[in-house]
Amino acid sequence: MTEIIPWYIPKLSFGASGEPMGLFLFNVSFSNTQYADAIALVKEEKPTIAAFLEAKDPWPKQLEALREVLPYTISIPELNIEVYSRLPLQESEILEYGKSRGLVKLDLRIAGAEASVIVTHAYPQFYFGKQGDLGEQGWQWRNQDLEDEIGNYIKQIEKPVVLIGDLNVTMWSPYYKRLIESSGLRDARAGFGILPTLSQFSPANPWLAIPVDHCLVSRDVKVIKMRTGPDLGSAHLPVITDIALRASQKSEVRSQKLEVRSQKSEVRS
């Protein structure tokens, strides 16, 4: 119980300036065909960023219906990742590791604050077949990337960072813990419960599911709320996270100067 109870204890957090930012993550599962249900939920939630994993054809074409509410998009077919944004994407970077896995980093500005959003999908935590096949190699790639490459990559980013993705590990995995240690990120679900997301039987049943879909944030990001969405025909539940960012120091300085000018104007009058 000592590994479970702390996830339900509310955390103290700072007050962050700026408009709240909504993040929607959904591993749709390759064979899932409930396109309309997924699109309807995104339109209902109105996130700032919506990311879809395992989005093979015809998912990319179906998701184009979201352009009316999330007009900025990036498609990475080699990773089966589709990202939709309400805000312009200032810059993007794609890193591949192994075969058909990797991450995409998106830079954006919201309410005077800048942030980097990383979307990733790791190899599964299990494999089938003979020793030395792609399944085992993928499992090893995942461990190496979680332990070293992703964490070291994130440490070099100077902006606030949010990572959303299917890491294919739970919070109790030693590889997850090493990622947290190397990256300096924290799990957004802290204070909101275990939030299981994956089950081959019934992802909506918390007794049959495990938490492998994550939202990790840097220390300068406030987590307002994190929750899972309904069963949409995938082996995974959607993960919905509301956060807020502190305005950058430059923005804060500009605001202070404007306030001083305003006060001087009042004195003159």
- Residue identified by tokens 């805000």 is 87
Six-digit token string for 238: 């959607």
Report the pLDDT averaged over residues 249-259: 39
Q: Domain-by-domain residue ranges, the chain?
A: 5-268
Q: Is the pLDDT of residue 269 over 80?
A: no
| Three-class SS of 83-95 | EEECCCCCEEEEE
- What's 5-268's CATH class? alpha beta
Q: Is the pLDDT of residue 264 over 60?
A: no
Q: What is the pLDDT of residue 265?
A: 35
- Residue 138: pLDDT band (50, 70, 90) is low
Q: How many residues does the structure list for the chain?
A: 269
Q: What is the pLDDT of residue 162?
A: 98
Nearest alpha carbon to residue 120 among 167, 59, 175, 55: 167
Comparing 9-13, 25-29, 161-165, 262-266, which segment has the lowest mean pLDDT?
262-266
Query: What pTM was estimated for this model as a whole?
Result: 0.86
Pairing of strands 91-96, 221-228: unpaired
- Omega before 238 within 30 of 0, i.e. cis: no
Q: Is the pLDDT of residue 125 over 70?
A: no
Q: What is the pLDDT of residue 258?
A: 32
Q: Is the pLDDT of residue 107 over 80?
A: yes
User: 212 with 167: CB under 8 angstroms?
Assistant: yes
Cβ-based neighbour number of residue 195 at 10 Å: 21
- First vs last C-alpha separation in the chain: 65
Report the pLDDT averaged over residues 71-76: 97
Q: How far, rounded to the nearest angstrom, does the alpha carbon of residue 167 sit from its chain's CA centroid?
A: 10
Output DSSP code: residue 34: -
How far apart, in Å, are the Cα atoms of 248 and each of 17, 111, 112, 115, 243?
Answer: 10, 10, 7, 10, 16
Report the pLDDT averaged over residues 85-106: 89
